């Protein structure tokens, strides 16, 4: 079977990396697209090691050009059935490849230390205190997100249920604007004592690859 | 600069990597798609591994909003 890691443009060479369980990498082309994959005897076991190996291939592929990571655990019986699926999705995948070209994904998590709470006088005071805390947390998340979104071409935004995690977001950023984005993150964190703004990446554009029919 | 402890930073990076590989990326209708149960198992194991960074555990409880384009 063919186990998939990423979709790239036709003409892309297999990255210099080993696949899941050390399997060599291959490229199957379909129209304007190329699938980076490995020939495996059986579906990979879902282990942390396999997840990290999958991510390693995607990363190596992304270093060589515009790619869309494929979600972990997708395999095709043979090249013909893989080509059929790619042909069906070609226009959406090509649009997505165009959108991520020259860009990387940065992940941001905003965490706040839970403030020590003074014992509330009664139940009502306690609930009001909780509400106030949640409102403040939402305002911080919104503010951080608004500032960072200005530096990005696209973004995903996930409000967390409340302290300590306030925000989990991903931003699609021009590769040459990463430094600037990180500086913004540091400024946001510096201006908000007690708030951690954690920036991870650059990642391949996992959050900006079409998860559905690609109709976005 | 963020005041996050380096270990926290590392845990966040691992968690972010696993979340991306398992939850994001192109979804194709392959002939074989890993059972969701298997995938969830890794996540459970990982969250257990990261339990020392207990505040991140609650990160799994979240609401997703769609991608916005501008």
Q: Residue A134: its pLDDT value, please?
A: 77
Distance from CA of B29 to the nearest CA of A (A): 7
Average pLDDT over residues A53-63: 95
Average pLDDT over residues A171-200: 92
Q: Residue A163: its pLDDT value, please?
A: 65
pLDDT at A56 over 90: yes
Q: Residue A158: its pLDDT value, please?
A: 74
Q: Which of A82, A155, A207 sits opposite B24 (nearest CB)?
A: A207
Let me know whether A148 and A62 are in one domain: no
Place of tokens 């966040």: B12
Q: In Å, how far from its chain's centre is CA A60?
A: 16
Give the domain-ending residue among A51, A74, A100: A100
Let me know whether A107 and A204 are in one domain: yes
In a domain, A94, yes or no: yes
Let me know whether A187 and A107 are in one domain: yes
Give the domain-ending residue among A100, A122, A145: A100
Please indicate whether, in this complex, the C-beta atoms of A77 and B42 are within 8 angstroms of each other. Answer: no
Question: β-pairing, A33-39 with A26-30?
Answer: antiparallel
Asked whether A40 and A26 are in contact (CB, 8 A), the reply is: no
pLDDT at B1 over 50: no
Asked whether A65 and A5 are in contact (CB, 8 A), the reply is: no
Using 50, 70 and 90 to split pLDDT, how confident is the model at A177?
very high
ipTM over 0.90: no
Q: Residue A197: its pLDDT value, please?
A: 87
* Closest B-chain CA to A197: B2
Q: Note whether B17 contacts A: Cβ–Cβ < 8 A.
A: yes
- Domains in chain A, number: 2
Let me know whether A193 and A171 are in one domain: yes
In a domain, A50, yes or no: yes
Suggest the residue from B11, B30, B39 to mutate for an interface test with chain A (most A CBs closer than 10 A): B30
Let me know whether A198 and A119 are in one domain: yes
Let me know whether A62 and A78 are in one domain: yes
In a domain, A216, yes or no: no
In a domain, A213, yes or no: no
Q: Which of A96, A164, A168 sits opposite B55 (nearest CB)?
A: A164
Let me know whether A19 and A64 are in one domain: yes
- A124 vs B46: CA distance, rounded Å: 38
Give the domain-ending residue among A81, A100, A119: A100
Using 50, 70 and 90 to split pLDDT, how confident is the model at A31?
very high
Q: Which of A51, A75, A157 sits opposite B65 (nearest CB)?
A: A157
Q: Residue B65: its pLDDT value, please?
A: 39
Residues in A touching B11 (Cβ below 8 Å): none
Residues in B touching A59 (Cβ below 8 Å): none
Average pLDDT score, chain A: 89
Distance from CA of B48 to the nearest CA of A (A): 13
pLDDT at A180 over 50: yes
The model's pLDDT over A122-176, given as tens digits with 9 standing for 90+, comes to 888 888 887 887 788 788 888 999 999 999 999 887 766 666 778 889 999 999 9
In a domain, A54, yes or no: yes
Suggest the residue from A73, A90, A194, A209 to mutate for an interface test with chain B (most B CBs closer than 10 A): A73
Sheet holding A165-174, edge to edge: A195-203, A103-112, A165-174, A154-162, B68-69
In a domain, A214, yes or no: no
CATH number at A187 reads 3.30.70.600
Let me know whether A123 and A85 are in one domain: no
Let me know whether A138 and A198 are in one domain: yes
In a domain, A125, yes or no: yes
Residues 22-41 of B with CB under 8 A from A: 22-34, 38-39, 41
Q: Note whether A69 contacts B: Cβ–Cβ < 8 A.
A: yes
Domain that residue A191 falls in: 103-208
Let me know whether A22 and A69 are in one domain: yes
The model's pLDDT over B28-68, given as tens digits with 9 standing for 90+, comes to 888 777 755 566 666 665 555 554 344 443 443 333 334 44
Q: Note whether A77 contacts B: Cβ–Cβ < 8 A.
A: yes
Let me know whether A30 and A122 are in one domain: no
Let me know whether A122 and A186 are in one domain: yes
- The residues, ordered by sequence, that sit 6+ positions from A31 with a Cβ below 8 Å of its Cβ are A10, A86, A87, A90
Asked whether A70 and B26 are in contact (CB, 8 A), the reply is: yes
Q: Residue A136: its pLDDT value, please?
A: 80
In a domain, A148, yes or no: yes
Using 50, 70 and 90 to split pLDDT, how confident is the model at A214?
very low
């Amino acid at each position: 079977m063919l186990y998939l890691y990423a979709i790239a443009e036709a003409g892309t060479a297999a990255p210099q990396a080993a696949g899941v369980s050390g399997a060599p990498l291959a490229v199957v082309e379909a129209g304007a697209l190329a699938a980076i994959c490995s020939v495996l005897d059986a579906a990979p076991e879902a282990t942390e090691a396999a997840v990290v190996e999958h991510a390693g291939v995607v990363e190596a592929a992304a270093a060589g050009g515009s790619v869309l990571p494929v979600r972990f655990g997708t395999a095709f019986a043979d090249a013909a059935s893989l080509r059929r699926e790619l042909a069906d999705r070609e226009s959406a995948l090509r649009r997505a490849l165009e959108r991520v070209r020259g860009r990387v994904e940065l992940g941001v998590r905003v965490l706040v230390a839970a403030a020590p709470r003074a014992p509330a006088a009664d139940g009502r005071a306690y609930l009001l205190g909780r509400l106030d805390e949640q409102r403040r947390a939402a305002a911080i998340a919104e503010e951080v997100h608004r500032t960072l979104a200005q530096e990005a071409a696209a973004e995903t935004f996930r409000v967390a249920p409340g302290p300590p995690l306030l925000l989990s977001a991903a931003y699609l950023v021009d590769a040459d604007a990463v430094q600037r984005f990180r500086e913004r993150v540091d400024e946001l964190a510096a201006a908000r004592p007690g708030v951690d703004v954690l920036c991870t990446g650059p990642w391949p554009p996992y959050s900006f690859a079409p998860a559905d029919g690609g109709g976005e | 600069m963020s005041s996050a402890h380096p270990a926290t930073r590392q845990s966040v990076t691992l968690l972010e990597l696993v979340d991306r590989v398992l939850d994001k990326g192109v979804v194709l209708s392959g002939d074989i798609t890993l059972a969701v149960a298997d995938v969830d198992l890794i996540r459970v194991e990982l969250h257990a591994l990261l339990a020392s960074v207990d505040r991140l555990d609650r990160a799994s409880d979240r609401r997703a909003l769609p991608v916005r384009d501008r």
